[in-house]
A and B are shown apart, each in its own frame.
Chain A
Amino acid sequence: MSEPVIKCENVYKIFGANAEKMLKDSNGNVDAKTFQENGCIVGVNNASFEVSKGEMLVVMGLSGSGKSTLLRCISRLTDATGGKIFIEGQDLLQLNNKDLIDLRRNKMGMVFQSFALLPHKTVVENIAFPLQIKGVKTEDSISKAMDMVKLVGLDGRENYFPRELSGGQQQRVGIARSLAVEPDIWFLDEPFSALDPLIRKEMQDEFLRLQEKLQKTIMFITHDFDEALKLADRIAIMKDGIIEQLDTPANIVLNPATEYVRKFTEEVPREKVLLIADVMDKTKDNLSDLKVSKDEIIENVAEKILTQEKSVAVVDNNNNIIGSINPAKIINTVFGGRKNNN
C-alpha cells in the first residue's frame, strides 16, 4: 500500500499560556478538566489517523468538539502543541516558513464556512488570487480562473462581486478558488453549513460530481451527520477534542463504538447508508436471476429485491457472484433490526 497522504500521530492542540509544559507533564494523558482548571483549553486530544490518496475523510462533531482545530493543525494555520503530522511523508511541523508556503501554493486548497472571499475582488479575480500569489502571469491566471468558473457553473457571473452573489454562488467561488492551483489535498471546513437546506443538497451533489472527476484527497469538516454519511469514505466522530470513532459510514451505523456515537446513529435510515455488501449472506445457493452490485446502497435496489421470492445474487465489479441477499433481510434492515442490532 502506498504512503498515506495525510498522517497524524498523537496530535494535541491545547490553548493557553502553559500549554506545552502541561502537555509534557501529563505524559500524553490529557484530561480536559484538569487542564481547564489550570487555564488551558484542550482543542484536539491525541488524534491519530491516516488519510490515503483519493480518500474522503469526513470529520463530524458538534460545535466546540475540536474538528475545526484539528483541520487547522493539519493545514498548519495553527501549530499543533504536540504530536506529528506528515503530509506525503514530509514532517509538516518541521517545515520552515518558505517550504510551508510552497506546500500551500501547490498542494493544498481550503474552503471556508463563511466563504472568506476577498470583498474587493470580482469572482474571477478571487479565483485567480492563489495563482497570482504564486506568481502566475495575469493573463494565464485569469484564463485558468475562467476554466474554474465554468467548472463550478458560474459562467456569466465572472465579473460580479461576492456581495452580489447568493450564498450558494459565493461558496462555488470559494470552491473554485481552492481548486485553482490544482491541489492534491483539499480541506473543506463546513463548506455547506451556512447554506439553506435545498441549496445545501444541491451543493453536496455538485461536490460529489466534482470529486468523482477530480479524485482529491479530502478532509471534510461538518456538524451534520447526514451530510457526513452521504459524502464520506470514512467518518471520524469527534467529541471534546477526542476522536470517538473513525470508520466507514456503514460500520459506524452498524457498530457504534461509544454511547455518544450511538445517539447519532439512532435516527439514521439504514437503507440510505448501508451497502448491499454490508448485509449480504455468504451463501450462493438458490438464487434468482436478478443480480445486484455489492456497492449499491440498499435504498436504491430494495424495491427490485423485494419483488423477488428467492435470494438475489450479489456480484462484485467483475460480475462474479460473491454472495446473496434475500428479501426478508432487506425488510429486516429497513423496518426491523434497528433496536436489536445494537
Chain B
Amino acid sequence: MEFFKKYPKTFQWLFLLVVFFALCFAIEVPETYKFIRGQAEFVKDPNQSSYVFLGKEVRYYAFDVFWRLPPLLGWLPIWINDSLFFLMNEWMPIEVWNEDTQEFKSRPLVLQISRNITAFMTFLIQLIREVLLGGLETIVAFSSWDWIDKNPWAELPGLPWTIVAAGATLLAYKLSGKGLALFAGLTMVYISIFGQWKPSMQTLSFILVAAPLSFIFGLGLGIAAFKSKRVEKALYPILLVMQTMPQYAVLVPALVLFGVGDHAAVIITMVVAVPPMILLTILGLRAVPPEVIEAGRMSGCNNFQLMFKVLIPTARRDILIGVNQVIMVCFSMAVISAFIGAKGLGFNLLLALNQLNIGLALEAGLCISLIAILLDKMSLAWANKQEDYFGNLTFFQRNKNLLFFAATVVIGLILAYVGTFLFKGTFNYLFEIPHNKGISTADFWNKGVDWIFETFFVYIKAFNTWLIQEVLQPMRALYLRMPAIATIVLVVGAGYLIGGVRSALVVCALTLFIAFSPWWDRALVTAYMATFGVIVSCIIGFTVGTLCFQNKQSAKFMLGVCDIFQTFPSFVYLIPVMMLFGITDTSVLIAVIVYATIPATRYTIEGLRSVPAGLHDAATMSGVNKFQRLTKIEFPLAFPHMMLGINQTIVFALFMVIIGAFIGTEDLGQYILKALSDKKGAGIGLTLGICVAFIALIFDNLIRAYVQKRKKHLGID
C-alpha cells in the first residue's frame, strides 16, 4: 500500500494494463473472423451487412462491436469521391472561349481552374526542360504550330551537357568555393557519362519549378500566419495532418483534380513541401528577439522592410532548415510522383525496381541523391553568401564568373559542333549522352547481387525465416488479436494519464476515426510494422547517438551523415534492402529501420548536447564517473528532446511502411497503392492517408504532452 501511495502513477498505469488485458481475454475472437475480409471492397457477399447513409451504400462484415467496430465512416470515401466528381464535372459551369474551335464552351469552374493551373505549371516545367534538353513547346506557346513549321530554325536544340556541367560548377564555385565546385562538376560528369543525362535533367526541371514555388508559398503563408493569429489557427490543424500524411495518399486526389503528368507532380509536391516550410517560417519568426524588431523599427523600417530586411534574415537559420526540407521533399516526391506519370529519374527508378534490376535502380537512385545533395548545399551557400564592399576589383575580377561561363558556352558549342564530325553516324557524345548509352555499372551490381544471393542465400534465408516466423508473425497476430474496445481503452487511458482530459479526448477522437473507417485491421498491421521499426530504430539510434556524443568530432561527423542520409529520397532506401532480402516484409522493415534511425540518432546527439555545460562541470566535481554522468545527469535532462526524436522516428517509420507497400506488404499502404489505379480511388486514398496521419498524430499527441510535462518538471523550456 505504501508503494502505491508513493507512486500513484505507477498504480494507475498498472490498473490500465490490467483492464486492457482483461478486455483482451474476455472478448473472444469471433469464429467468422478472418484477417481483412475486404470490408472496403465491394464484393457482394450474402454474409455482409449493409447500411445506407447520405445515399451511399456501405457493405461490411458485422462483428461483435467489442471486437471490431462497424465501419460507420464507410460512406466517407465514396462521398468524397462523388463530391470530387461533382465539383469537377458539374458544379458551376462557366462559358469558356475555345481557341481551336473558335466558340464558347461550357465547362465547370473547378475543371477550368485546374486546367489553368495545369497549363501554367506545364509551361514552367517545359521552359526549363527545353533550355536544358531542347524542344519546341515553349516557342509554340508564344507563337503557334504553323509558325514553327515555317521556321524550323527556332526549334531549341537544348544545351550540350558540357555547358550545363560547367555552368553548375561555376555557380557552385561562386556560391561556396572550390569544394562544392568540385562536387558539382563530378556529379554532373557522373550523370552524363553514366547516361542518365536526360532523365536527370527532366527531374531537375521538375525540381527547379517545384522547390521555388513551395518555398514562396510556404514563406508567404508562414508570414501570414505569423502576422495574424486567425490565419495561424485556421492553418494549424491542416498543417499537422499534412505533416504526418504519407506522401502516397495525396497522389490520388491530385490525380483526379489535375490528371497525369509532371504538372500534377509539381502540385502534389507543393502540397507536401509547403507545410514544413510554413511551420519552420513561423518558428523562426517567433524566435526573433523583440529588441531586434525594435531596432529595425527605430531604424525607420516600414512593415515591408521590417519583414524582409530584419525579421526574415534574422530568422534565417530556421527558414533555411525549411528550405532543406523543401528540397528533401521535392526529391522524395520526384520518385513517388512517377506513379502518376512524372518523367525523369524517378520513373526509371520505379521501372528498374519493378523489373528487379537492382543495378539500374542503384544508378538512378545515386543520381537523384547526388543532385539532391548538390542542390541542398548550393541553396545553403546561397543564403549564407556575403558581399564584399571594400575589395577594389577590376571589371574582370568582378565579372570573372560570368566571363568564364560565356567562355564555356562558346567552348561547349564548339565541342558539340566538333562532335558532329567525330561521332559520325552514331550519337554525338559531346552534345548529349543518350540514356543507357553511357557507361553502366548495372551489370556489375546485378552480378554482385546474384553473388550475394548465391553465396549467402542460406544465411539470409535462415535469418529471414527466423525473423518472420519467430518475431514478426507472432507480433502481427498479437496486434490483430486486440479487440477494438481494448485498444481504444488503452490509448485513451494513456492519453488521460499523460496529458489529462484534453489529451484523452483528442486521442479518443483520432482513434475512433480509424476504428470507424473500414480499415481497422490494416491500420493494426501498419501499426505493428511501424512499432517494430520504431523500437529497433530507437535502440540503434540511442546507442549510436550516445556513443558518438562521447567525442565532439564523431558527434559532428554523425550529424553530417544524418544530414546527407536525410537528403536521400525515401525510395532509394528500398534499393539496397531489396538487393539483400528480395521482396519480403523483412526488406521493408529493414528499410524502415534504416530510414527511421536517422531522426533517432540526430535527436539523441542534439538532446545530449543541449545539457548545459555548467551541469557537466558540477557533476564532474561531484565525482561521478562517465557512466554515472550519462545515466544520472545527461539522459534525464536530454530525455524530453530525445522524445521529440521518437516522434520524428514514428513519422519516418510510418512513411516508409507505406512506401513499403510498393514491394508488397499488407498494410494501409497497399490499399493506397491500389487506390492509385482505381477510378474511384480518390476518396479511398485520401481517407487512408488521413488514417495513417491519425496514427502518427495519436503518438504525436501523447509524446508532446509528456515532453511538455517533463520539461516543466525539469524547468527547461
Q: A residues near B, CB below 8 A? A: 72, 75, 77, 97, 101-102, 104-106, 108-110, 112-122, 124, 129-130, 133-134, 138, 142, 158-159, 174, 177-178, 181, 187
Given contacts A114-B291, A116-B291, A120-B314, contact A109 B298 (CB under 8 A): yes
- Whether the pair B300, A112 counts as a contact (CB closer than 8 A) is no
Contact of B299 among A104, A119, A120 (CB under 8 A): A104
B50 within 8 A of A: no
Please, how many angstroms separate the alpha-carbon atoms of A108 and B297 in the complex?
Answer: 11
When C-beta atoms are compared, the residue in chain A nearest to B313 turns out to be: A120
Q: What's the least CB distance linking A189 to chain B, in Å?
A: 8
Interface residues of B in 296-322 (CB under 8 A from A): 297-302, 305, 309-310, 313-314, 316
Q: What's the least CB distance linking A140 to chain B, in Å?
A: 12
- Whether the pair B389, A142 counts as a contact (CB closer than 8 A) is yes
Given contacts A105-B300, A129-B299, contact A122 B292 (CB under 8 A): no
B295 within 8 A of A: yes
- Whether the pair B292, A118 counts as a contact (CB closer than 8 A) is yes
Closest CB pairs A-B (n = 8): A105-B300, A130-B299, A116-B295, A116-B291, A110-B298, A104-B300, A120-B313, A112-B291
Instruction: Show 13 residue pairs from A and B whose CB-CB distance is below 8 angstroms, ordered by the A residue.
Output: A77-B294, A105-B299, A108-B298, A112-B291, A113-B291, A116-B295, A117-B292, A119-B316, A124-B389, A133-B300, A133-B305, A133-B309, A138-B389
Given contacts A101-B302, A120-B314, contact A112 B294 (CB under 8 A): yes
Q: What's the least CB distance linking A138 to chain B, in Å?
A: 8
Q: What's the least CB distance linking A184 to chain B, in Å?
A: 14
B7 within 8 A of A: no
B386 within 8 A of A: yes
- Whether the pair B300, A118 counts as a contact (CB closer than 8 A) is no
Contact of A133 among B292, B299, B390 (CB under 8 A): B299
Please, how many angstroms separate the alpha-carbon atoms of A72 and B293 in the complex?
Answer: 13
Please, how many angstroms separate the alpha-carbon atoms of A67 and B314 in the complex?
Answer: 27
When C-beta atoms are compared, the residue in chain A nearest to B305 turns out to be: A133
Contact of B310 among A97, A113, A118 (CB under 8 A): A118
**Given A119-B314, A133-B309, 16 more contacts at CB 8 Å?**
A72-B294, A104-B297, A104-B298, A104-B300, A110-B294, A114-B289, A114-B291, A116-B292, A117-B295, A118-B292, A119-B313, A119-B316, A129-B299, A133-B305, A158-B390, A177-B299
Please, how many angstroms separate the alpha-carbon atoms of A134 and B298 in the complex?
Answer: 12
Please, how many angstroms separate the alpha-carbon atoms of A274 and B294 in the complex?
Answer: 37
Please, how many angstroms separate the alpha-carbon atoms of A114 and B291 in the complex?
Answer: 7
Please, how many angstroms separate the alpha-carbon atoms of A129 and B310 in the complex?
Answer: 10
Secondary structure at the A interface, as helix, strand, loop or mixed, is: mixed
Chain A residues with Cβ under 8 A from B316's Cβ?
A: 119-120
- Whether the pair B314, A112 counts as a contact (CB closer than 8 A) is no
Chain A residues with Cβ under 8 A from B314's Cβ?
A: 118-120
Chain B residues with Cβ under 8 A from A114's Cβ?
A: 289, 291
Please, how many angstroms separate the alpha-carbon atoms of A75 and B389 in the complex?
Answer: 32
Please, how many angstroms separate the alpha-carbon atoms of A321 and B314 in the complex?
Answer: 60
Please, how many angstroms separate the alpha-carbon atoms of A177 and B291 in the complex?
Answer: 14
Please, how many angstroms separate the alpha-carbon atoms of A187 and B298 in the complex?
Answer: 10
Given contacts A112-B291, A133-B305, A142-B389, contact A75 B298 (CB under 8 A): yes
- Whether the pair A101, B300 counts as a contact (CB closer than 8 A) is yes
Chain B residues with Cβ under 8 A from A118's Cβ?
A: 292, 295, 310, 313-314
Q: What's the least CB distance linking B687 to chain A, in Å?
A: 43
Q: What's the least CB distance linking A80 to chain B, in Å?
A: 16
Q: What's the least CB distance linking A98 to chain B, in Å?
A: 8
Chain B residues with Cβ under 8 A from A104's Cβ?
A: 297-300
Chain A residues with Cβ under 8 A from B299's Cβ?
A: 104-105, 129-130, 133, 177
Chain B residues with Cβ under 8 A from A101's Cβ?
A: 300-302
Q: What's the least CB distance linking B588 to chain A, in Å?
A: 44
- Interface size on B, as a range, is 20 to 34
Q: What's the least CB distance linking A217 to chain B, in Å?
A: 15
Chain B residues with Cβ under 8 A from A97's Cβ?
A: 302
Please, how many angstroms separate the alpha-carbon atoms of A77 and B297 in the complex?
Answer: 8
Please, how many angstroms separate the alpha-carbon atoms of A75 and B295 in the complex?
Answer: 11
Please, how many angstroms separate the alpha-carbon atoms of A258 and B390 in the complex?
Answer: 57
When C-beta atoms are compared, the residue in chain A nearest to B389 turns out to be: A142
Please, how many angstroms separate the alpha-carbon atoms of A77 and B291 in the complex?
Answer: 10
Given contacts A119-B314, A120-B313, A142-B389, contact A110 B300 (CB under 8 A): no
Q: What's the least CB distance linking B29 to chain A, in Å?
A: 59
Contact of A112 among B295, B301, B305, B310 (CB under 8 A): B295
When C-beta atoms are compared, the residue in chain B nearest to A129 turns out to be: B299
Q: What's the least CB distance linking B167 to chain A, in Å?
A: 27
When C-beta atoms are compared, the residue in chain B nearest to A143 turns out to be: B389
Chain B residues with Cβ under 8 A from A124's Cβ?
A: 389
Please, how many angstroms separate the alpha-carbon atoms of A118 and B316 in the complex?
Answer: 11
When C-beta atoms are compared, the residue in chain A nearest to B291 turns out to be: A116
Interface residues of B in 382-411 (CB under 8 A from A): 386, 388-390
Please, how many angstroms separate the alpha-carbon atoms of A193 and B388 in the complex?
Answer: 33
Chain A residues with Cβ under 8 A from B390's Cβ?
A: 158-159
Please, how many angstroms separate the alpha-carbon atoms of A119 and B301 in the complex?
Answer: 17
Chain B residues with Cβ under 8 A from A109's Cβ?
A: 298
Chain A residues with Cβ under 8 A from B300's Cβ?
A: 101-102, 104-106, 130, 133-134, 181
Interface centre among B291, B294, B298 (most CB of A within 10 A): B298
When C-beta atoms are compared, the residue in chain A nearest to B299 turns out to be: A130
Q: What's the least CB distance linking A221 to chain B, in Å?
A: 13
Chain A residues with Cβ under 8 A from B309's Cβ?
A: 129, 133
- Per-residue interface assignment for chain B, residues 364 to 389, with 1 indicating a CB less than 8 Å from any chain A CB and 0 otherwise: 00000000000000000000001011
Please, how many angstroms separate the alpha-carbon atoms of A101 and B302 in the complex?
Answer: 7
Chain A residues with Cβ under 8 A from B295's Cβ?
A: 110, 112, 116-118, 174, 177
Interface centre among B289, B295, B297, B310 (most CB of A within 10 A): B295
Contact of B298 among A77, A102, A113, A138 (CB under 8 A): A77
Please, how many angstroms separate the alpha-carbon atoms of A136 and B669 in the complex?
Answer: 59
Interface centre among A72, A108, A114, A120 (most CB of B within 10 A): A120
Chain A residues with Cβ under 8 A from B388's Cβ?
A: 159
When C-beta atoms are compared, the residue in chain B nearest to A107 turns out to be: B300
Q: What's the least CB distance linking B291 to chain A, in Å?
A: 4
- Per-residue interface assignment for chain B, residues 274 to 300, with 1 indicating a CB less than 8 Å from any chain A CB and 0 otherwise: 000000000000000101101101111
Chain B residues with Cβ under 8 A from A102's Cβ?
A: 300
Contact of B294 among A105, A116, A117, A177 (CB under 8 A): A116
When C-beta atoms are compared, the residue in chain A nearest to B293 turns out to be: A116
When C-beta atoms are compared, the residue in chain B nearest to A110 turns out to be: B298
Please, how many angstroms separate the alpha-carbon atoms of A122 and B387 in the complex?
Answer: 10
Please, how many angstroms separate the alpha-carbon atoms of A225 and B316 in the complex?
Answer: 39
Chain A residues with Cβ under 8 A from B294's Cβ?
A: 72, 77, 110, 112, 116
Q: What's the least CB distance linking B33 to chain A, in Å?
A: 58
Chain A residues with Cβ under 8 A from B313's Cβ?
A: 118-121
Q: What's the least CB distance linking A234 to chain B, in Å?
A: 23
Chain B residues with Cβ under 8 A from A181's Cβ?
A: 300
Please, how many angstroms separate the alpha-carbon atoms of A224 and B291 in the complex?
Answer: 21
Please, how many angstroms separate the alpha-carbon atoms of A121 and B299 in the complex?
Answer: 15
Q: What's the least CB distance linking A201 to chain B, in Å?
A: 24
Please, how many angstroms separate the alpha-carbon atoms of A75 and B298 in the complex?
Answer: 8
Please, how many angstroms separate the alpha-carbon atoms of A146 and B414 in the complex?
Answer: 48
Q: What's the least CB distance linking A82 to chain B, in Å?
A: 22
Please, how many angstroms separate the alpha-carbon atoms of A214 and B405 in the complex?
Answer: 51
When C-beta atoms are compared, the residue in chain A nearest to B303 turns out to be: A97
Please, how many angstroms separate the alpha-carbon atoms of A112 and B305 in the complex?
Answer: 20
When C-beta atoms are compared, the residue in chain B nearest to A98 turns out to be: B302
Chain B residues with Cβ under 8 A from A130's Cβ?
A: 299-300
Interface centre among A118, A124, A134 (most CB of B within 10 A): A118
When C-beta atoms are compared, the residue in chain A nearest to B300 turns out to be: A105
Q: What's the least CB distance linking A149 to chain B, in Å?
A: 11
When C-beta atoms are compared, the residue in chain B nearest to A131 turns out to be: B299
Please, how many angstroms separate the alpha-carbon atoms of A77 and B293 in the complex?
Answer: 10
Please, how many angstroms separate the alpha-carbon atoms of A159 and B388 in the complex?
Answer: 9
Please, how many angstroms separate the alpha-carbon atoms of A133 and B386 in the complex?
Answer: 19
- Whether the pair B389, A116 counts as a contact (CB closer than 8 A) is no
When C-beta atoms are compared, the residue in chain A nearest to B316 turns out to be: A120
Please, how many angstroms separate the alpha-carbon atoms of A139 and B389 in the complex?
Answer: 8
Q: What's the least CB distance linking B107 to chain A, in Å?
A: 45
